[in-house]
Amino acid sequence: MPGLKAKPAFNDAANMPEEMRMETLPRNLLRATFDNCVLSLVLEAGKGNKNAVLVGWKDPIRDHDAQVLEVERLLDKAIERERGYKKQLRTYRNWETAWLLMNTKPDELDEYVDLKNQMKDFETQLKFISSVEEKIELQDKWTRFHELEGRCEKLLAAQRMLARAKEARDEAFKAQLAAGRELDEAKEKERALADQISEDQVEADSRGVGISELFPNISPGFIVTRVNRSATENLDFPDILTVIEESKPPHELEFRRYDYRQNMLSGRWESLQELRAQGKFVEDPRVKQQLFVDAGRRGDVVDLDRSLVRGMNVDASDQSQCTAFHHACANGHFEAMQLLLSKGAAIDVRDGNLETPLIQASRRGQEAVVKWLLDKGASVDARDRLLRTPVFHAILSTHINLVCTLLDRRTSLTVTDKHWKWTPLHYAASVGSEELVELLLSRRASPYAVSENGWTPLRCAQENSCTGCADLITEFVFNEPGQCVLPANERFKSSVWLGSHRAADVRWATDRGFGAMLAIYAPRRRDPKHHWLQVEDHEIDVFQVEISAPDDAEGPEAWGVVLRHLPRMLGFIDKCLAQGRELLIHDATGVSTGAGVVLAHALVKRRVRFEAALEHITAIRRQVKLSPSVRVGLEDLQEELDQRKLERLENRLRTSPILSIGF
């Protein structure tokens, strides 16, 4: 329809959310130290012949191992040839020795060899010789030949064996030399291959793994950004190789992610966005982050460690911004917690609701985890999006021991949440846990804190029908050394408290946040515990007065003493309320004299009737019991105020233009 913009397609590369784009994530720095990176890494030039991209790992050990087997084979062969030569040598020497022993008359052998050649055609020669002398001479040679033949033929046979032994010896010697040369060449090649093996590759081989598994945080596709102390990112590839060659091993290398991929067909380097535009798969970084966080949820230490070694950010988060550390703590996986913290996980890392791992563990009631986190330095007063600290969540889980653990670490009980301005005691009263209410009250939680809509913890308990909690708070307030008898309202921005001298003790008074005190002492009987109000640096406005008015006084004298100081006391009360100071009025018991001053203020400044005011104050501070003297004095004050009011009314009526006609 005209005027309506078409929604981008889910796989529209141009409109893909940033969190789905790998290149928008920080390029984590990954370090690795190589014995000699030249012997371990296969590097190629990146886009524009710049950068050195890791494309693989060298594996010379395989070739070296094959060559070692070849050397072993040739060594066996050389040994065998050597044995053969030695055997032939012994054979030759044996025949040589035998020959020397047998050939004791070498002249006869030479004679026999000569005769043998002559006697080959003896019969033919004999036929053609005519001379008797020559025939006799030939016959003598024939006889001599036969005399030597037996022994000399054996010598000739031995001589032939000696010759064959020598020939065999020489052949064996040549074979030995050839095998030795072949072995030397194989050893030289093995040494050359061994020189290409780094200590890293030896270590990997001893573990039975590939060298890449020694450096699991480094993956093909990364670029080398630094070699030892020399930065190499965006340098020309030949210059990077020069830097590597000139750097002395070991090599300390830094790697970063490279946001380009090489097209295997064209060889062209393309950006990730170009690949998306072509409809090609590009990894969504959220997938690995989610898997890492899920491993924390399961407490899978092996998966967590593997991911961290491969460069995963230890504080990587899922869609709710929860980290693996959040989930490990929430589910009580101590091994995973220890691993993540040892790898640099932020102990107070925040999720989408600004919750820390301590807050999540507190909500789940993980007492042991909470103790462990606190021991490791987690903030006990960290606040979530609703400004709630861990103790709020522990209270909601109604886990009494967990709340005790947090209170033992001095967590604040005066903080309020964002929406209702509730304190932890408000929460405990609203969930109806009497144990928690009693615990918080014993740890100085204020039952007088007022929420955004004017509710105290008592009101929270009453509104949620938590009768037991309401009774606990009511009884606690009754037993306090002082009570808030006149709460703040639109006219008076601060409250008036009534109590005994114990209410002015430093701990109780500072807990209640008093800004002013009206102290009524018996003459020369000031409480030494209140000396802190005179010597310490504080901002409390103190008005002290000495009045002799016993709680059981019956005559008018006691009220007369009060009446003499009453104007100044009422003036001080007016000043404090105008300044917005929380005011405590206290005397020795808080039963009569102080109560009389409060009632006088209610009569004079608030226009409240005496009986109504007395009923109100008595309902809050049960100890109040006016002395006869003070009661009579206040009744007289009420009559006087009524008389003045009547006189003013009559005067107003007389001066009225209409009514004056009747007079």
Nearest to 350 by CA among 377, 369, 322, 380: 322
pLDDT value for 439 = 95
Distance CA 155, CA 168 (A): 20
Q: What is the pLDDT of residues 212-266, one digit of tens each?
A: 888 888 889 899 999 998 999 999 999 999 999 999 999 999 999 898 988 888 8
Output Rg (C-alpha) for the chain, integer angstroms: 56
**What average pLDDT does the structure give for the chain?**
88
SS3 661: helix
User: Read out DSSP for 488-551?
Assistant: --SS-SS-EEEEEGGGGSHHHHHHHT-SEEEEEE-TT---GGGGHHHHS----EEEEEE----T
Burial state string for 287-314 with b = 16 or more CB within 10 A and e = fewer than 16:
eebebbbebbbbbbbebbbebbeebbbb
Q: What is the pLDDT of residue 658?
A: 47
Instruction: Please tell me which of 3-7, 77-81, 286-290 the model is most confident about, judged by mean pLDDT.
Output: 77-81
Element (H, E) at 556: helix 556-579
Q: What is the mean pLDDT of residues 40-64?
A: 91
| Range with lowest mean pLDDT among 179-193, 262-276, 334-348, 647-661 | 647-661
Helices and strands per DSSP (H, E), number in the chain: 26, 13
The predicted model gives 381-405 an average pLDDT of 94
d(CA 328, CA 325): 5
Q: Span 310-339, mean pLDDT?
A: 92
Contact by Cβ (8 Å): 94, 206: no
As to burial, measured by CB atoms within 10 angstroms (0-12 exposed, 13-18 middle, 19+ buried), residue 143 is exposed
Domains and CATH numbers, the chain: 63-194 (1.10.287), 482-663 (3.90.190.10)
Q: What is the mean pLDDT of residues 359-368?
A: 94
For 171-185, the pLDDT digits (tens) are: 999 999 999 999 999
Q: Which residues, in sequence order, are bridge partners of residue 442?
A: none
pTM: 0.65
Which residue from 143, 158, 47 is spatially nearest to 103, judged by alpha carbons?
158
User: In this predicted model, what pLDDT tens digit does every residue of 457-467 receive, in sequence order?
Assistant: 999 999 999 99
Q: Give the pLDDT band (50/70/90) at residue 585.
A: very high
For the chain, percent of residues with pLDDT exceeding 90: 58
Between CA 178 and CA 469 the distance in angstroms is 104
pLDDT at 16: 64
Distance CA 69, CA 478 (A): 96
Confidence of residue 20 (pLDDT cuts 50, 70, 90): low
Amino acid 12: pLDDT:
59
- pLDDT given at position 61: 87
Provide the pLDDT for residue 279. Answer: 78
Cβ(202)–Cβ(192) under 8 Å? no
Q: Is the pLDDT of residue 1 over 50?
A: no
DSSP letter (8 states) at residue 591 = S
